[in-house]
Amino acid sequence: MTNVSAPLPTPRAELLDRLAQPHLYDLAVIGGGATGLGVALDAAARGFSVVLVDSHDFAKGTSSRATKLVHGGVRYLAQGNISLVREALHERTTLLSNAPHLAQPLPFVMPSYRFWETPFYGIGLMMYDALAGKAGLGATQFLGRERTLQCLPTARKDGLKGGVKYWDGQFDDARLALALARTAASRGALLVNYCPAKKLVHEEGRVAGFECEDVESGRAFTVKARCVVNATGVWVDGLRQMDGEAIGKPVKPIVAPSQGVHIVVDKEFLPSDHALMVPKTADGRVLFAVPWLGKLILGTTDSPRQDIVREPQPFNEEVKFILEESARYLTRAPRVEDIRSIWVGLRPLVKPQDDDGDNTKSLSREHTVLASRSGLVTVTGGKWTTYRAMAEDVLQKCFSTGLLPEKPAGVTNHLPLIGTPKEPVKHRISDAQGLHSYGSEAAAVLGIPGAQTALGGGLTVAMVRFAARYEDACTVEDVLARRSRMLFLDARKAIALAPAVADVLREELRADPRLDAFLTLAQQYLHVPA
């Protein structure tokens, strides 16, 4: 079963009018990334009244900057974290089933250049298969040299002994976030982007809601709720400290941000539907080369950061590391001039209270759910793959602290997201962007004026109109970074398309689409630090 009804319009004025109406919500969520959207959908699907606000666009931060993998966590297996791997493998299957047009299985190959690597890593990956059980996507295979080169035609041949093939998943993170938001809205939730929470509201020592403000108009709103969830990712400590000060109980920060850099190059560097995975680089990190939306993603890094910024920049040594390590495994090494786009995500890693967070590689990738003395529920950590399980844990915390009456879990286990088609999906996530990204809503896009007017990169005028009418898009960035993924795939092409996108948005929204701001931002995605 899937939602094949007409898309739900998202006129901003109407959403803001709804926000202005006095109402006591069951649940109010601050933060519209993977975690917050997951919580909103889970709560709405259980029949709770839900409101969610975000300071920027949905998935503007970390949630649109993943390595695009839906994975059980091979590296966590190496660390001996069996419970995290088992949970992630279960959730991987659920995600792939609930949004097959946006998340799919992907084969990976580890090339071996030492005789011991194939059996060593192969046995570990067979354990991975065993943990997956019925949720497995395909059996691990030991490959000879020729078969490895068939899967990875541009892998370095010199010294190649063979390889190991295993299966994980990949997805389009920003569009999946959008599907979560829209599915929650279809269940009655009110979701508003560009409406930052400015202040928590306390009544008799309890969190009773928050004050927020529309970015465009400056219009202010007071939102009341039985339960307030802080799902602001790397920014959760800001709200926690605000809450602690209000009730006279200062808090220590719990997040140690870690930076992950990704470089995008043309697919010719690895023309394959298989991803390349290096489990241990020269400095002990993991390196991926992943085919995605017609391009190739190289990454990632794990560098501690002391500051938290909206648009983090890569460090010179990170770019150097990715390019040099890629050169060790590919016959043609990508160079700086080959970079089509470069982006950075911040991981909200949870640190022990006595840890300064300087060594982020050793910090847990598991999520944490806390409830303060005032009743503010904070969730952080975790990863995209387990967003649904994280949401269930948040709701359970709301129940156990008496903030909400308990309702049975599991409602999102088999809940197809907006766009899930009835028939089997024929495209691959590694294919270039196009109409197929919309799943069952492709027909609705085709019915909008401009469906035959191509702008470039798989984007049409109709898709821009669809983004404005039904996908909460307000700016050029919303369209070219997250409704389409052009900024992440080819920043120069995104710059070239931006004026035409701006023209369509002006026509649709009668508002400033912030073209100049986007053009400035896009230059950052081309900037390689000296």
- pLDDT, tens digit (0-9, with 9 covering 90-100), for 166-217: 999 999 999 999 999 999 999 999 999 999 999 999 999 999 999 999 999 9
End-of-domain residue from the set 314, 333, 350: 350
The answer to whether position 465 is within a domain reads yes
Give the model's confidence band at 351: pLDDT under 50 very low, under 70 low, under 90 confident, else very high.
confident
Residues 342 and 381 in one domain: no
pLDDT digits (tens, 9 = 90+) for 250-270: 999 999 999 999 999 999 999
The answer to whether position 371 is within a domain reads yes
pLDDT digits (tens, 9 = 90+) for 302-319: 888 888 889 999 999 999
The answer to whether position 474 is within a domain reads yes
Nearest to 161 by CA among 175, 143, 177: 143
Domain hosting residue 509, numbered range: 435-524
Do 39 and 47 touch, CB atoms closer than 8 A? no
Measure the CA–CA gap between 462 and 457, rounded to whole angstroms.
14
Residues 167 and 270 in one domain: yes
The answer to whether position 423 is within a domain reads no
Residues 282 and 163 in one domain: yes
Give the residues across from 202 on adjacent strands: 207
Give the model's confidence band at 360: pLDDT under 50 very low, under 70 low, under 90 confident, else very high.
very low
Overall number of domains in the chain = 3
Residues 46 and 113 in one domain: no
The answer to whether position 427 is within a domain reads no
Residues 249 and 277 in one domain: no
471, two tokens: 């996908």
Measure the CA–CA gap between 110 and 123, rounded to whole angstroms.
13
The answer to whether position 409 is within a domain reads no
- Looking at per-residue pLDDT, the higher value among 212 and 82 belongs to 212
* Region 109-127 average pLDDT: 93
Measure the CA–CA gap between 389 and 387, rounded to whole angstroms.
6
Residues 72 and 165 in one domain: yes
End-of-domain residue from the set 400, 425, 460: 400
CA distances from 153 to 133, 274, 290, 350 (A): 31, 10, 14, 39
Q: What mean pLDDT, rounded, does the chain reach?
A: 93
Residues 123 and 24 in one domain: no
- Measured in whole angstroms, the distance separating CA 101 from the mean position of its chain's CA atoms is 15
User: Which H or E run includes 477?
Assistant: helix 476-477
Residues 358 and 473 in one domain: no
Global pTM reads 0.96
Measure the CA–CA gap between 343 and 348, rounded to whole angstroms.
17
